[in-house]
Structure 1
Amino acid sequence: MGLTAFLPLSVSGCADLSSLPLSPPSVAPATQPAASLKVDASQIPPMYRRLLAVDLPAVVRVAMARNLDIQEALQRVEASRGAYESSVGAIFPSITPNVTALGIEGAISNPIGGIELATKTFIPAAVAIQWIINPGQVAYDIVASKRRLEASAQQEQAVVLETARVAAVQYYDLVLAQAHVSVARQTMNEAEELLRIERLRLKTGTGLPADELRAEAALAGARQDLLTAVKGFYDASVTLTVTLHLDSTVMLAPQAGTMKQTTLVREDLPIDDMLVTAVRYRPDLEAVRTLWAAAQADQGATVWGGVGPQVQAARTFLTPPPAHAIVDTMYRQQKYVATGGFNWSAATFGRIKSAVANVKIAELDLDRELDQVGSAVVSAHQASLTAAKLIPIARQQVTSAEEALRLTKENLKAGTGLTIDVLQAVDTAEQAQLRYATAIIGYNQSQINLLAALGLASTAE
């Protein structure tokens, strides 16, 4: 039942969507969840020289202004506009100005009616206007190029939305990487404190050498984990700088503050409405539809170019020839010529066959894009639902793990606990904190992906 509203559009591939509302629907919830994640000021040393603190709005703004994919998409629109203007220009005749030097030597008539041997040079300036057109082919070429111009503009919109989505997701990856570093540093501090306690117990005769060695091993592992987490943070920063077209030696870090669980698409929105919305508002899908129409126009242009009539006309304007009498037959000018006819070739059948196949390929591309749009919506929606269920469970895990760690430390100090218990409690608390951060960040990422899958990312604040 969830696909009943989606199937009629996907089967037809090019169903008339004009009856659907033009303004994007509101999918935002009335209230926001209360869960949040504290983002501390970065204590990670810069990779080289500079550190730049950024937040999500700043990342999106910079991506819109500097991203190379967006700039390339804009140039593709200009290229398509040039092709469209060229196809329109094919309607008009071409103008060919030229200058010709004409030298004549031999028997030449003179003004008094006689003939004499002489050499004459004549340099006429001429302008030729030529018009060669296949009306049907030109008309279909204009339609095809117009459709491709529209498709390039729609693809540019899709690139903008995808760039914003990628930049936002990568920003959250950066936040998660910093959370990994923070937890790894906290774990290292816990390991250092545990090692201090074990050495103190060993000096007082209440500890065991094995416990000290175990604490040293745990500290060495924590230091390795911290270095690995810092490297992961550096990688996330470099990835984001590429999207923003910034210097990769500049280390980006999330601004300190509180990152809230943010719902962009309300949870009670039916999947039917989501699918229909995506089919209507995804600019990349609209671009594929437009390219399908362009392929149909190309087919018409190929048919008319092969079997349709052609018209040729030419008119020449040049200085009059030096003819003074009827006997000056060597000086003649062709003023104009007009021809109408056909140019039939056996190669036309192959071109038409290729054009028909290209239309079929465009239809398959449209069906494939529809499948991808539907799967993207369903996948993002399920990811969002799963993350929403994980957050309260992860929060409870953090509360329990931190309390268990506190009690285990007290037991160790009181002499009723073991070092191995503390190490296990530290590891459990670390995993709980990472799970909670991953749940909130994953939820926000899934909401961004869902909004982008619906084609409504531009409506988000």
Structure 2
Amino acid sequence: MKILLFLLLTAVASAAPMHVSLPTVMKLAGANNDEIQQAQVKHTEMIAESKQAWQRFWPTLSLNAGYRGHEGRVQDIAGAVFDARKQQYTLGTAILVDWSPGDIYYSALAAKQKAIAAEELAEKTRRDILQESVARYYDLLATEADMAVIEDDLRLTEDYANQLSGAVTAGTAFRADLLRVKTQVSRAKISVRQGQEKRDLAAAALAETLRLAPDTALRPAKSDLVPVSLVSTHGVATLISQAHQNRPELRAASAANTAAVLESDRTRIAPIIPSVQAGYSLGGLGGGFAGEWGNFNDQQDFFLGLGWKIGPGGLFDRQRQKIAEAREQGIALQTSQVKAAIGREVVEAALKAQSSKDQLQINEEAVTAAEEMVQLAKDRQASQLGVVLEYLLAREELTRARQGRVKSVTDYNKAQHALKRAVGK
């Protein structure tokens, strides 16, 4: 991948057209797009939060050293007040535990599900960017194929104009016919220039998706455009079932729904489980009257306690439970919406793919008929049975049919890739 990026950057620096294939486009879209990287960063953040949630079970270890002095009035346990000058110093360590086991447990489980959802959303972003890059690559490929059709028409029309010019000079053809052909040549040149503009615009759109320099002159590695069959359009119910199993956004919605269920359980079950507080400290204490630094010896303290919280955030907090239940219901509804949207996407993609396939077949028939029409016009022209206008109209029909075939193949390939994405492949 590093070598590939180096070669691409070198090509950009030389200002020469960069020829890219579909596999190269897909690799660059997956490796260099900041939207994908942003989704991956979000996933990394959620993983860290999940790990941090489990770490709340760990005890706290502290090391401490301190000095404390006093001068003036002080009160003893019995209530007597008197003057005193004293000091003390401490050195030791302490282990503290402050657990709410139920709260920590359910929070950690919910955080894990949120991390899974973030991972699936990152995968969805990656697939969306790849689909966008594929569609824009085919748009670029279509402009190249369309220009090839127009340039071929221009070449044949110019050759015909040269032949007709000789016939006009010999007095066997009308000058009006020659001017009509020259007008057709000018139209073809304009179409070529318009095709170049469309190609450059398509290259700029693809460069945006690949996060390359906006002025990068992208060109397809191959100028041929052939139909590519990836997914069968038959059995839409089967395709929808596959999409429900494979689409990452549905898995993300399922994980988010599971997290919401755990949060709801947390509000109901966690307050019942008592919180635990415990501690143990070990060290030394020394000091005495002012100026005394001795009397240092070891000391130990420990404690253990259980407790329940009553009120907001604890037992009998009905409003907190209602909020969690409402969120759970909302996410469940969102999951249903995502599932319905995926089903619609699969149906639409299958219909477009089938329609594109049918249109492709019809365009093939149109091209065959137009080619025969051009040949008949040429034969009649040679035997002086036809006119120049008939040949030009036949050539125009053939060019239009060939351009229609380019569009049909492009639409079919884009529909096939869209259907592949829709079913989650």
Q: TM-score, normalised by structure 1?
A: 0.74
C-alpha displacement of 1:296? 0.9
The 2-side partners of 1:198 and 1:349 are apart by 93
Identify which of 244, 250, 272 aligns with 1:279.
244
Q: What SS does structure 2 have at the residue aligned with 1:381? A: helix
Q: Which amino acid aligns with 1:373?
A: I
The equivalent of 2:351 in structure 1 is 382
- CA RMSD, 1 decimal: 3.5
Identify which of 417, 428, 438 aligns with 2:407.
438
The equivalent of 1:182 in structure 2 is 148
The 2-side partners of 1:117 and 1:374 are apart by 83
Q: 2:320 aligned with 1:355, yes or no? A: no
Contact 2:89 2:287 in 1 (8 A): no
The 2-side partners of 1:190 and 1:257 are apart by 20
Contact 1:50 1:249 in 2 (8 A): no
The equivalent of 1:404 in structure 2 is 373
The equivalent of 1:57 in structure 2 is 23
Please list every run of 5 or more consecutive structure 2 residues that lacks an aligned counterpart in the other structure. 1-11, 75-81
C-alpha displacement of 1:292? 0.6
The equivalent of 1:30 in structure 2 is none
The 1-side partners of 2:377 and 2:67 are apart by 106
C-alpha displacement of 1:441? 2.6
Contact 2:247 2:422 in 1 (8 A): yes
Q: 2:392 aligned with 1:392, yes or no? A: no
Identify which of 427, 434, 449 aligns with 2:396.
427
Pairs aligned (count): 397
Q: What SS does structure 2 have at the residue aligned with 1:92? A: coil
Q: 2:278 aligned with 1:313, yes or no? A: yes
Structure 1 residues 388-397 or 300-309, which shifts more? 300-309
Q: 2:231 aligned with 1:262, yes or no? A: no
Q: 1:385 to 1:148 in 2, by over 3 A?
A: same
Structure 1 residues 276-285 or 153-162, which shifts more? 153-162
Q: TM-score, normalised by structure 2?
A: 0.80
Q: What SS does structure 2 have at the residue aligned with 1:49? A: coil
Structure 1 residues 277-286 or 190-199, which shifts more? 190-199
Please list every run of 5 or more consecutive structure 1 residues that lacks an aligned counterpart in the other structure. 1-45, 109-114, 457-461
C-alpha displacement of 1:375? 1.2
The 2-side partners of 1:421 and 1:317 are apart by 106
C-alpha displacement of 1:89? 0.4
The equivalent of 2:44 in structure 1 is 78
The equivalent of 1:299 in structure 2 is 264
Q: What SS does structure 1 have at the residue aligned with 2:97? A: strand
C-alpha displacement of 1:293? 0.4
C-alpha displacement of 1:382? 1.6
C-alpha displacement of 1:141? 0.7
The equivalent of 2:78 in structure 1 is none
Q: 1:99 to 1:418 in 2, by over 3 A?
A: farther
Higher helix share: 2
The equivalent of 1:4 in structure 2 is none
Identify which of 156, 166, 174 aligns with 1:207.
174
Q: 2:223 aligned with 1:223, yes or no? A: no
The equivalent of 2:253 in structure 1 is 288
Contact 1:47 1:234 in 2 (8 A): no
The equivalent of 2:423 in structure 1 is 454
Contact 2:71 2:83 in 1 (8 A): no
Contact 1:190 1:426 in 2 (8 A): no
The 1-side partners of 2:136 and 2:210 are apart by 10
C-alpha displacement of 1:402? 2.4
